[in-house]
Amino acid sequence: MLPRILETEVMDTAAEAADYDQMDHSQVNRVFASDFLALCHVSAPGGSDWTVLDVGTGTAQIPIEICRRQAEMKIVGVDLAAHMLELGRQNVVRAGLTDRITLQQIDAKALPFPTGTFAAVVSNSIIHHIPEPRSAFREMVRVLRPGGVLFVRDLLRPDDLETLDRLVATYAGDSNDHQRQMFRDSLHAALTLAEVRDLLRDAGLPQEAACQTTDRHWTIALAGSC
């Protein structure tokens, strides 16, 4: 198994934000939105308020994808990277969703929201950025309303360099050098499935909620049991 090699926690240069936003995440984002919405039944837990927290929202591509499909939802997206959020706000304006998507510069490890605030908490590809992800994961669970939906997806650390190289060639082969390096670094910084299940165990949640869902992703999907 490859050792975990940490990358920079906050991608906060204009070049990094622009390169990330220009990478083609559309298919991954569509699948994320579909899988999340499949967990969300007709009514929200605790009433009709379907306010969702997106932790590590980046340039807000996933909130936009979700809101285009589900008119009842409003999303608060948080991220530490100012340049990412600046591009995210531009994306939200272009999508005509400023009344439903709010972006805030907030540390995932210290969310300022009261316990049980959100009907759902989602996160895509933020866990691998955090050196010690337990604090951020506990915060996601804390701000989730009892009976709410928790949907977290991230990259899966490959077993060996050969697999890592193959994944980079397959999914970033047409990207520029910087984009390929970002993807490579992210794979090296990602967690294994065993490490993800440790997060669940430490949070008092069922470890079987974490599964490998693609050749490069793991997913935590919980609804109604948080």
- Are β-strands 118-124 and 144-155 bridged in parallel, bridged antiparallel, or unpaired? parallel
CATH of the domain spanning 14-223:
3.40.50.150
Q: Mind spelling out the 3-state secondary structure of the chain?
A: CCCCCCCCCCCCCHHHHHHHHHCCCHHHHHHHHHHHHHHCCCCCCCCCCCEEEEECCCCCHHHHHHHHHCCCCEEEEEECCHHHHHHHHHHHHHHCCCCCEEEEECCCCCCCCCCCCEEEEEEECCHHHCCCCHHHHHHHHHHEEEEEEEEEEEEECCCCHHHHHHHHHHHHCCCCHHHHHHHHHHHHHCECHHHHHHHHHHCCCCHHHEEECCCCEEEEEEECCC
pLDDT digits (tens, 9 = 90+) for 115-128: 999 999 999 999 99
Among candidate residues 22, 25, 14, 10, the one with its CA nearest the CA of residue 176: 22
CA distance 195 to 42: 33
pLDDT at 10: 67
pLDDT digits (tens, 9 = 90+) for 134-192: 999 999 999 999 989 999 999 999 999 999 999 999 999 988 888 899 899 999 999 99
**Residues 83, 84, 89, CA angle at the centre, nearest 5°?**
100
CA distance 148 to 120: 5
The answer to whether the pTM exceeds 0.85 is yes
